[in-house]
Structure 1
């Protein structure tokens, strides 16, 4: 006599967020929907209740990232554990791979603000809990979730909007604006001086994603071409960590890409201005713009909290490490196996 058995359903795949395109367009929209719901009801979602621990490593200094992740983990019912440089053996006395395996047995999410993207990739390869890129030298994907949430709030949507980024475009912010912007269906224009533009590999990846969403990519040295009719105008500091000795040279190099009243007049009349902060008034942006009526930089800063909470919850739900409320955007019906702690 033969018998048959019904195979048990496969466990959900573990999800990480290391680069903007780790989320499909539909998934990015789910996270942003969830962020809007969380902003409206801050304590509805408690996937880290227990409290479970979320560990946040900082290899670089931070204000918004530190506070938003610490507050966000607490809001989700968890306990944040902040590790500063020199507080652990990560990367010098103990390998990233060993650290990932140890932490996975103790914490529910690993967040890392670091230098090399390769370190985050290695952490994710050996972790059995979600790993989140809180900033690397190559990408700043959590910032972009906050920016897109802000655009949604002020414009009602992202699809079809033109986003213009001006300044130092050979950095993590420009890379993430390209990738996340086109994932959201936006037309992303990047303007900076020759030699300070995104690498071709990032541009090609953005073009591939844009082909899926109806977005587009323009990389130019002409600031006015990028600004023409833009719905969203963005810049970033010209002087990143480690470049303080280059202040005068960089000010001269990027002067034509400053966002001032003249620049904003080339954008759409109802354009909004974004800056991830900290900002240097009189350098990359004038006080008239950042402190003016088109600036939404403090909404943007606040939205780091809501976007990152949504991201953490979404990763836990989709990885099968927590159960989403039926009312959660994109979360209804997610009934994972019990979380392993």
Structure 2
């Protein structure tokens, strides 16, 4: 069921299987907190293949690999020649012959799929332009820790509705029975095919899927507010356009005051909540906006769970790696 299987996108797994990974991640987090060893991958070698740089993904995979008793090896964009000097197929076969598992974080979902097709070992998607499945296990793990359940909760995503995080939140929530609303300007709505895909899963799980421009109405009954940067990697020339499009979708106190119950705030990080970094200062000086997708007040509020969410990246990745490559006894889950 899990053993030897790659983790490339959420739709490759059933609701019960995704919930298992979430619950397993919570269990592994408890073992770690209590100092109980869980070296399910002892003696293995794991390749961490990064076309795109990352803080959390690299740290999470490295610590998870070490905790599981395996040895991580980082290969950055300058260390490999995917589709430049060497085909993905050839690279996959070479790495698969040397490593027991491969993490891939890059641009193309097709590359991730081809690595899994030819490597002969599990491949774990650390992010592509289309999907962010390891992030999703951590995100919905955080929701389950906070609320004790998933089905029936309402998550509202505010911002760029076309990016990989919004896509994955929408589809994963639909699979798990979580009501997901994407609040975005119409020009940044998710692709119609993606919305239809999510609604198809929602019909089976009982979830409600909504995409709207009306952010004020969307947040009223939210259990969780989620946002991401307005400009994704490789789109840095679009800052002015995105600021003009998205400033009314900023998560600020005026917006959170519209929520009529207890809620939590989530962000996959990094966040532009102040102008303390050199990059944020540059944006603030150029466009006059020191706080972008979320204000510092909300980011530092008692509702904020983004650092718990970030830590959960490591626990959830550990669960995925152990379940798919650890020869565990796992009851049949349809």
How does the TM-score come out when normalised to structure 1? 0.88
Q: Distance in 2 between matches of 1:216 and 1:53?
A: 42
- Asked if the contact 1:163/1:186 (under 8 Å) is kept, the reply is yes
Give the equivalent residue in structure 1 for 2:39: 46
Give the equivalent residue in structure 1 for 2:282: none
The structure-2 alpha-carbon separation of the partners of 1:333 and 1:219, relative to structure 1 and needing over 3 Å to count, comes to: closer
Displacement of 1:245 in angstroms is 2.8
Point out 4+ residue stretches in structure 1 off by more than 3 angstroms.
Answer: 11-14
How many aligned positions are there? 313
Give 1:323's match in structure 2, choosing from 312, 319, 327: 327
- Asked if the contact 2:93/2:120 (under 8 Å) is kept, the reply is yes
Give 1:149's match in structure 2, choosing from 135, 141, 144: 141
Give the equivalent residue in structure 2 for 1:313: 322
Give 2:99's match in structure 1, choosing from 84, 107, 118: 107
Give the equivalent residue in structure 2 for 1:212: 204
Q: Distance in 2 between matches of 1:323 and 1:12?
A: 9
Write out per-residue CA displacement over residues 248-275 of structure 1, whole angstroms, 9 at most, x where no aligned residue: 3211210110001121122242110000
Write out per-residue CA displacement over residues 137-167 of structure 1, whole angstroms, 9 at most, x where no aligned residue: 1111111111111111111111100000000
Q: Distance in 2 between matches of 1:94 and 1:247?
A: 35
The structure-2 alpha-carbon separation of the partners of 1:47 and 1:241, relative to structure 1 and needing over 3 Å to count, comes to: same
> What RMSD in Å do the two structures reach over aligned CA positions?
1.7
Is structure 2 residue 155 aligned with structure 1 residue 163?
yes
Q: Distance in 2 between matches of 1:246 and 1:29?
A: 37
Q: Distance in 2 between matches of 1:181 and 1:138?
A: 16
The structure-2 alpha-carbon separation of the partners of 1:264 and 1:45, relative to structure 1 and needing over 3 Å to count, comes to: same
- Asked if the contact 1:16/1:22 (under 8 Å) is kept, the reply is no
Q: Secondary structure at the match of 1:47?
A: coil
Is structure 2 residue 70 aligned with structure 1 residue 78?
yes
Q: Which moved more, 1:223-232 or 1:145-154?
A: 223-232
The structure-2 alpha-carbon separation of the partners of 1:286 and 1:130, relative to structure 1 and needing over 3 Å to count, comes to: same
Write out per-residue CA displacement over residues 177-205 of structure 1, whole angstroms, 9 at most, x where no aligned residue: 10111122100000111110101111111
Q: Distance in 2 between matches of 1:95 and 1:251?
A: 39
Q: Distance in 2 between matches of 1:93 and 1:300?
A: 38
Q: Secondary structure at the match of 2:91?
A: helix
Q: Secondary structure at the match of 2:266?
A: strand
Unaligned runs of 5+ in 2: 274-290
Higher helix share: 2
Is structure 2 residue 193 aligned with structure 1 residue 189?
no
- Asked if the contact 1:57/1:82 (under 8 Å) is kept, the reply is yes
Is structure 2 residue 24 aligned with structure 1 residue 20?
no
Q: Secondary structure at the match of 1:308?
A: helix
Displacement of 1:225 in angstroms is 2.6
The structure-2 alpha-carbon separation of the partners of 1:207 and 1:187, relative to structure 1 and needing over 3 Å to count, comes to: same
Q: Distance in 2 between matches of 1:311 and 1:216?
A: 27
How does the TM-score come out when normalised to structure 2? 0.90
In our comparison, the structure showing a higher alpha carbon Rg is 1
Write out per-residue CA displacement over residues 106-159 of structure 1, whole angstroms, 9 at most, x where no aligned residue: 111111110011111111111211111101111111111111111111111111
